[in-house]
Amino acid sequence: MTGSNGSRLRPFRLVSKTRESDTITSFVFQPLDESGWQDFEAGQFLTLQVPTQDGASVVRTYTVSSSPRLTGTYRISVKREQAPSADVPSGLCSNWLHDALEPGMVVQAAPPRGGFVLDRTSARPVLLISGGVGITPMMPMFDLLARESDRPVWFIHACENEAVEAFRSEVAALAALRPDLHRHTCYRVPKADPASLTLPRHSSGLLSRATLQALLPLDDYEVYLCGPPPFMQALYALLLSLGVRKERIAYEFFGPASLTLSEETVERAAATTVAGADQPATGVPEGAISVRLGRSGRDLEWTGSSPSLLSFLEEHGIEPAFSCRAAICGTCEQGLIAGDVAYHEEPLDPLAEGRVLLCCSRPVSSIVLDL
């Protein structure tokens, strides 16, 4: 659903605000027009337009932490991002939400989207592993798994201490629904005596290989992973070392660094001949879809294996600017000199003629990019 200007943003009213921990607060939004609510998948995010002090606005995305079973509203749960030092500003949007937004106020929001979602068709046992505010997508996933499936689940969460742990009671209530729903929290620096924290419910320090081995029986798990980049990088490598197949690990992706450089990407990059501007590569078979970089004259063959133009370019050693990878921020917008693309995720706002978002598009004909 889009407005007369093509934007997907719609007015949503805040109906409740609940403090979940010392750092995380939940906000429940309801569209002013009932038709503004749409079904969503566990793991998807809501897009908010937040005002700034200069009268402008910025767009941010926050994972929906409520269950898809609950219709009519969306809950997001936001960590207050404090400045690490005096010369670095605090989180603009998170602090506005915590300090200025009150029930009854109206914001502009777009319905949920995103590809980090629970596979509800699978029968495999599930690991939900989160760090800090990365717990938010795990809440709707755990709710659906607990109430609508018979799959064994291990809900494993790492955070600084008990004071910042969100949803403790909610997680415990879900885990109590079946004996094969397990929960474990690892406190990095617990407030309680670390010696009192024992498996299977709690541990202290870092979430380690030994802890996972003690908690998990051997099985073919599906893993959903979300948290700060260093946490995800460490857990991704740890899971692979424990024999979890990488295609079984789904993770939420934010920022410019991936969890790992895959063997496939390394092999493809090594097999690609990088031509200079004075010697463009021309090894694209006749009739194939080509992606030409207009500024260098380099030609690349589109094989269809990449999820987006952005991923395709990265696999060939090209690093365009990007941020959200979700058709929201516009950072990856580039000039499209010739050819046509299709969007697997519609941009939040319509693009001008001759422009393209790399993160959510794929070519349907040979194209020329202003790169």
Q: Which of 23-37, 67-81, 126-140, 240-254 has the lowest mean pLDDT?
A: 240-254
Question: At 7, is the pLDDT very low, low, confident or very high (cuts 50, 70, 90)?
Answer: low
Overall average pLDDT of the 4-10 stretch? 66
pLDDT at 259: 52
Residue type, 235: L
Overall average pLDDT of the 237-258 stretch? 79
The C-alpha angle with vertex 318 and arms to 312 and 319, in degrees rounded to 5, equals: 100
Beta-carbon count within 10 A of 219 CB:
11
- Out of 3.50.50.60, 3.10.20.30, 3.90.25.10, 3.40.50.20, the CATH code matching 272-369 is 3.10.20.30
**In whole numbers, what is the pLDDT of the chain averaged over residues?**
85
Overall average pLDDT of the 166-171 stretch? 98
pTM of structure: 0.76
pLDDT at 359: 87
- pLDDT at 273 > cutoff 80: no
Question: At 265, is the pLDDT very low, low, confident or very high (cuts 50, 70, 90)?
Answer: very low
Domain with CATH 3.10.20.30 in the chain: 272-369
Cα 339 to Cα 294: distance, rounded to the nearest angstrom = 12
Parallel, antiparallel or unpaired: strands 74-79 and 57-63: unpaired
The pLDDT > 90 percentage for the chain reads 60
pLDDT at 344: 81
> Which burial class, exposed, middle or buried, applies to 157 when counting CB atoms under 10 A from its CB (0-12, 13-18, 19+)?
buried
Domain with CATH 2.40.30.10 in the chain: 10-112
pLDDT at 345: 78
End-to-end CA distance of the chain: 32
Helix, strand, coil percentages (3-state) for the chain, rounded to 5, are 20, 30, 50
- List, in sequence order, every beta strand (DSSP E) within 242-328: 249-251, 290-293, 298-301
- Out of 3.30.450.40, 3.40.50.80, 3.30.565.10, 3.40.30.10, the CATH code matching 126-251 is 3.40.50.80
For the chain, state the CA radius of gyration.
Answer: 22
* Greater pLDDT, 238 or 89: 238
Those residues with Cβ within 8 angstroms of residue 304's Cβ, 6 or more apart along the chain or in another chain: 362
- pLDDT at 54 > cutoff 80: no
Domain with CATH 3.40.50.80 in the chain: 126-251
- pLDDT at 291 > cutoff 50: yes
Overall average pLDDT of the 324-351 stretch? 83
pLDDT at 263: 43
Q: Which helix (H) or strand (E) holds 177?
A: none
Q: Which fold has domain 10-112?
A: Elongation Factor Tu (Ef-tu); domain 3 (2.40.30)
Cα 171 to Cα 303: distance, rounded to the nearest angstrom = 44
pLDDT at 323: 67
> Distances from the Cα of 136 to the Cαs of 46, 64, 120, 227, in angstroms?
12, 7, 18, 10
Place of tokens 């050693």: 317
Q: What is the pLDDT of residues 216-233, one digit of tens each?
A: 999 999 999 999 888 888
* Greater pLDDT, 275 or 345: 345
- pLDDT at 360 > cutoff 50: yes
Is 199 within 8 Å of 227 (Cβ atoms)?
A: no
- Residue 221 structure tokens: 């798990």
337: left (phi over 0), alpha (psi -120 to 50) or beta: alpha
Q: Which helix (H) or strand (E) holds 31?
A: strand 24-31
Is 154 within 8 Å of 184 (Cβ atoms)?
A: yes
- pLDDT at 239 > cutoff 50: yes
> Distances from the Cα of 162 to the Cαs of 191, 194, 338, in angstroms?
7, 12, 56
pLDDT at 35: 82
Question: At 315, is the pLDDT very low, low, confident or very high (cuts 50, 70, 90)?
Answer: confident
Place of tokens 């080509």: 290
Residue type, 292: R
The C-alpha angle with vertex 69 and arms to 12 and 100, in degrees rounded to 5, equals: 30
Question: At 60, is the pLDDT very low, low, confident or very high (cuts 50, 70, 90)?
Answer: confident
How many Cα atoms within 13 Å fall on the side-chain side of residue 176?
Answer: 6
Q: Which of 29-33, 183-187, 235-239, 327-331 has the lowest mean pLDDT?
A: 327-331
Backbone angles phi, psi at 108, to 5 degrees: -90, 135
Residue closest to 222 by CA, chosen among 148, 128, 114, 135 = 128
pLDDT at 262: 43
Between 168-175 and 138-148, two packed helices, what is the crossing angle to 10 degrees? 20
Q: What is the DSSP string of 39-57?
A: ---TT-EEEEEEE-TTS-E
Cα 275 to Cα 296: distance, rounded to the nearest angstrom = 9
